[in-house]
Chains A and B, each alone.
Chain A
Amino acid sequence: MFYLLAALMVASAWAIVFTSNIVRMAVYLLLALSGAAGLYFLLDAELLGAVQLIVYVGGTLILIIFGVMLTSREIGMALKPKPWEGAAGVVLGIVLAGVLLLAQVYSQLPAEISSQGAGAVPGAASGGGATSGGGATVEAFGKVILGRYLLVFEVAGVLLLVVMVGAAYLARRTSWPRSAGGTQP
């Protein structure tokens, strides 16, 4: 199961690099995001998987697709990079991937704690609920977010307010030169 999801994610992530059609990029992003959601389910973080699907796939991605639709009236929607730029980017990406994986080989990862035997992804034998991820219930999340991370929670709320104001300001059509009193509320 892991390999299936991982292959899906890596393939669609790299497909984004190689395609120059913005609509295809958005579709591949959909696949990659769903793959990540699947991995969250696999790791027994059901709430996160659901949030990822609802907010990320259902919200952010749709927003991006709206953006694509509103701005891609251009011929062919392609905006192809110059060939050498594309090639340089791809080569650079592959080199980067290699370097990063090398870095991982030479790094000590923390020991895995799940007592159900190292390496056993908890969700593989799902239904248990007593495995390491079992703590990730909605109730536990609520307690942590409103307890230890209360401040971050509040700031995130204020942040969303500001973002809404900013985005609304930028996106609405104001004709401010005749600002005397004619603008909409």
Chain B
Amino acid sequence: MNSFLQIGLGHFVALSLLVLAAGVATVLTKRNAIGILIGVELILNAAGINLVAFNALAWPTSAEAGAAVSAAAGALGQPALDGMVFTIFLIVLAAAEAAVALAIFLNFYNNFNSIDVEKANAMRG
């Protein structure tokens, strides 16, 4: 990161932190269950940006070998895709989670005729 205009890892991490903060704020402020789910998707995307950016810019080769000899990194060949593979599974998990969550929301809606999470107060103490 020599200059501000040159785009580096720091920019990606800052972006992901901003999106994370937006996601957390969404989760905390929304009363609509689907709104909360949207906030969760934001957090997951922030994580995805982190994973891909770190993988592409900082750890393109396997860490065990690459970190020590960064000069010869290109020669080591074997690309490491840990972060990107994680991202693929993250997308799968997000889809799975959304499916279960929406089924539960629908079920809740059928029983309560609303998806206002503040209506979920039959049980207390």
Closest B-chain residue to A156, C-beta based?
Answer: B92
Main DSSP-derived SS at the B contact region: helix
Complex: A14 Cα to B74 Cα, angstroms: 39
| Contact string against A for B residues 44-80, beta-carbon threshold 8 Å, 1 for contact and 0 otherwise | 0100110011111111110000110010011000011
Q: Which of B21, B57, B80, B103 contacts A167 (CB 8 A)?
A: B103
Q: Which residue of B lies closest to A99 (CB)?
A: B21
Inter-chain contact total with CB atoms closer than 8 Å: 253
Interface class of chain A by DSSP: helix
Q: How far is the CB of A116 from chain B (nearest CB, A)?
A: 10
A47–B88 CA distance with the chains assembled, in angstroms = 9
A128 to B107, CA, bound (A): 51
Interface size on B, residues (CB 8 A): 79
Interface string of B25-52 (1 = CB under 8 A from A): 1101111101101110110010011001
A89-B25, A140-B79 are known contacts. Are A67 and B70 too (CB-CB below 8 A)? no
Checking B38, B66, B94 against A16 with a beta-carbon cut-off of 8 angstroms, the contacting residue is B38
* A146-185 interface (Cβ within 8 A of B): 149, 152, 156, 159-160, 163-164, 166-168, 170-171
Contact of B103 among A145, A159, A166 (CB under 8 A): A166
Contacts of B13 in A (CB 8 A): 104, 109
A94: min CB distance to chain B, Å: 8
Counting from the closest, the 9 A-B pairs by CB-CB distance are A135-B79, A93-B25, A89-B29, A97-B21, A132-B60, A13-B22, A119-B6, A167-B103, A170-B103
